[in-house]
């Protein structure tokens, strides 16, 4: 299965200089957890998640009018629309990401998330394994040690 078969084609985007609070409003209005920051040509240059806004802007008391690029992850890891699902999954795990913008040549064509994999493929095991792999890559080992009884 290729990722274009399960991707969400409607990607919520904003300019890198969009205020962080405007990006948060986009997330609320579109019911999404991330916004892809794009340059004038529509190419991804950053990714902002709801967590980025909460941790880097809100929790630190940063001015909500600060450009979103201040809390964005860059450069953006992307996949190709003809990429096989397993290759996309390996890319996401390898880069410790839960969201993968999908490119068709130079154009942003969609986005794939771990939730997409679970819902659209119906394969909960793949999504659970990917989530576990991403979590293990992000968190220190002590989070996964067995607790003594």
List CB contacts of 100: < 8 A, sequence separation 6 or more: 3, 77, 78, 79, 88, 91, 92, 111, 112, 113
What are residue 109's phi and psi, to 5 degrees? -105, -20
98-107 pLDDT per residue, tens: 899 999 999 9
List CB contacts of 10: < 8 A, sequence separation 6 or more: 110
| CB-based contact 41:64 (threshold 8 Å) | no
57-96 pLDDT per residue, tens: 999 999 999 999 999 999 999 999 999 888 888 888 888 8
């Amino acid at each position: 299965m290729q990722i274009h078969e399960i991707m969400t084609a409607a990607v919520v985007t904003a300019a890198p200089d969009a205020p962080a609070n405007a990006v948060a409003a986009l997330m609320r209005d579109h019911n999404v957890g991330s916004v892809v920051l794009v340059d004038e040509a529509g190419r991804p240059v950053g990714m902002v998640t709801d967590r980025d806004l909460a941790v880097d802007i809100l929790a630190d008391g940063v001015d909500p009018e600060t450009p979103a690029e201040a809390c964005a992850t860059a450069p953006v890891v992307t996949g190709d629309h003809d990429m096989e699902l397993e290759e996309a999954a390996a890319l996401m795990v390898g880069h410790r990401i839960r969201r993968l913008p999908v490119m068709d040549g130079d154009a942003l064509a969609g986005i794939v998330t771990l939730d997409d994999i679970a819902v659209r493929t119906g394969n909960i095991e793949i999504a659970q394994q990917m989530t576990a792999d991403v979590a293990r890559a992000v968190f220190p080992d002590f989070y996964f040690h067995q607790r003594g009884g």
